[in-house]
Amino acid sequence: MKIYINGKYYDENNATVSVFDHGLLYGDGVFEGIRAYVGRVFKLKEHIERLYYSAKAILLTIPMTPAEMTEAVIDTCRQNNIIDGYIRLVVTRGIGTLGLDPVKCSKPSVIIIADKIQLYPQTVYEEGMKIVTVPTTRNFHNSLNPAIKSLNYLNNILAKIEATNAGAEEAIMLNSEGFVAECTGDNIFIIKNNDLLTPPLYAGALRGVTRLAVIEVGKQIGLNIIETNLTRYDLYNADESFLTGTAAEIVPVNAIDGRIIGEGKCGPITKKLLEQFHILTKQSGEPIY
């Protein structure tokens, strides 16, 4: 595997960063997870745009233009012969001192990894997964804004640990007001009658690229799209529920906090969304070759 670090490619065993990099020392940086399907990078423009928005929010100046970053992502895919795969794009604050001061970091580092990924087995997409609500609250907007896709993922990791301890694969995180925000690595949706509902961004939901793609697909198949505050009561009484994320795609949910959702498996509307989403991934994206 060839890994891109600051304009050069390194073998996997030689791809290293300094122990003084603030991305390692303090989680000071931003990242994106991106998918490639049939030789195309899906929604690359949207991912690059979100990366630069996250960087701007933490006053991190990326040492490349968006066009240069786009080309670097595509070239890294070429270097690794990617047809279907997963790309992790990371920008750290760079090498600095043991102090917090980001001004003392010399130059941000850009790292691009292109590899394969399968987050869940195929049975999960047919039967669904069980998820639970956990005590860890989603970050407040006035602390570390959930819209920033930062390298500091400890909030999500703590929630993931709680889900694992409860015997579940994913966790629902609530915001400080008790409304549903998102899961540890995915956005959450429910279906009620012909309505497709999901928490609004101000509730603490990440501006998910797959989230937006599913909303687009939902409109195309005639669903009413509603972004609104949701409580656990709303989730428990949904006809169907599913999670969305770049790596996970669309994952059906069959139970929440022990309550069976719908028929306890992938529902008909979720299945239709999955089918249409897969068609979209094969028809659009930036060509690698």
Which positions are catalytic? Answer: 149
Same-domain status, 33 and 129 = no
Q: Is the pLDDT score of 118 beyond 90? A: no
> Are 103 and 184 contained in the same domain?
no
Answer yes or no: is pLDDT of 117 > 90: no
Last residue of a domain, one of 85, 115, 145: 115
Regarding whether 241 and 151 lie in a shared domain, the answer is yes
The stretch 103-129 carries a mean pLDDT of: 93
CATH number, domain with residue 224: 3.20.10.10
Same-domain pairing of 56 and 195: no
Interval 30-37 mean pLDDT: 97
Q: What is the percent of the chain where pLDDT is above 90?
A: 97
Last residue of a domain, one of 115, 150, 172: 115
3-state secondary structure the chain: CEEEECCEEEEHHHCCCCCCEHHHHHCCEEEEEEEEECCEECCHHHHHHHHHHHHHHCCCCCCCCHHHHHHHHHHHHHHCCCCCEEEEEEEECCECCCCCCHHHCCCCEEEEEEECCCCCCHHHHHHCEEEEECCCCCCCCCCCCCCCCECCCHHHHHHHHHHHHCCCCEEEEECCCCCEEEECCCEEEEEECCEEEECCHHHCCCCCHHHHHHHHHHHHCCCEEEECCCCHHHHHCCCEEEEEECCCEEEEEEEECCEECCCCCCCHHHHHHHHHHHHHHHHCCEECC
* 16 belongs to a structural domain: yes
Q: How confident is the model at residue 197 (pLDDT cuts 50, 70, 90)?
A: very high
Question: Quick check: 125 pLDDT over 90?
Answer: yes
> 135 pLDDT exceeds 90?
yes
Q: pLDDT value at position 119?
A: 78
Is residue 217 domain-resident? yes
**Model confidence at 29: pLDDT above 90:** yes
Predicted pLDDT of residue 120: 87
Q: Identify whether 82 is part of a domain.
A: yes
What pLDDT does 289 receive?
95
**151 and 225 inside one domain:** yes
- Percentage of the chain exceeding pLDDT 70: 100
pLDDT value of residue 264: 95
Mean pLDDT of 267-287: 96
148 and 185: one domain? yes
Mean pLDDT of the chain: 96
Residue 82, pLDDT above cutoff 90: yes
Domain presence at residue 289: no
pLDDT of residue 61: 97
**Mean pLDDT value of segment 241-252:** 96
Containing structural domain, residue 27: 2-115
- Residue at a domain's end among 68, 86, 115: 115
Indicate if 222 and 260 belong to the same structural domain: yes
For residue 80, name the pLDDT band (cuts at 50, 70, 90).
very high
Same domain? 57 vs 94: yes
Residue 83 has pLDDT above 90, yes or no: yes
* Mean pLDDT, range 95-120, rounded to an integer: 94
Residue 192 pLDDT: 97
This model's pTM is above 0.85: yes
pLDDT band of residue 86 (cuts 50, 70, 90) is: very high
Domain CATH for 17: 3.30.470.10
Q: Do 131 and 255 fall into the same domain?
A: yes
pLDDT > 90? residue 7 = yes
Q: How many structural domains is the chain composed of?
A: 2
Task: Give yes or no: residues 104 and 196 share one domain.
Answer: no
